[in-house]
Structure 1
């Protein structure tokens, strides 16, 4: 886990514990701290995997577009989350347009590959509810 992940996890644990204790006498304040703790725990998970799922998705979207002969958008290269999000957004829009064309021409194999990517991409981004 990265340093930011550790900080967010610690923050979440403190807020969850305090929220639970405070909830016995102040329901609203306790609930607010509990929600803040849950959000910090989810943010810690995202911090730990934020770049990895974007990089994997970008590589797979490029491969799907290239395999289908679709137009490849010009994307800036970079490894900040902002740069990865910009590349992901551009490639995602291109893949959606390509998928519509694949469906229109009833290309079952490419349609299945794109749908498999969507499922895998969603699984990569999953966060586990703290419990």
Structure 2
């Protein structure tokens, strides 16, 4: 396979920058919501309950309090998630878009506390955190 031309590389770099801006905007918007809406009352999708139940059934070992990023990178985890995510292609908007996910729910989006995830993974983890009340730590309430 031939190497991409300089023009193609510039286009790929631009696409990557656009993805990063969109992913960061999504993360900032979500975190701002957590600050002003009590997490147990914050729906993320129209099928939160279905996603949460399916996630718990398929990934009971995942500790949503502090994610093991290395596990997510294993071939087994990637395959299992790929099969899981595909089921939601028609049910979850942007189901396979890249998203930023906090590894430790107690911390914000920092370079050390952020990992790449697919949008459906993001929803599963954050829906679980919200239902368990973990994200209350971010909530500032009304002033």
Instruction: State the TM-score, normalized to the length of structure 1.
Output: 0.31
Higher Cα radius of gyration = 1
- Going by fraction, where is helix more abundant, 1 or 2? 1
- Compare relative contact order (CA 8 Å, sep 6+) and give the higher one, 1 or 2: 2
TM-score, normalised relative to structure 2: 0.29
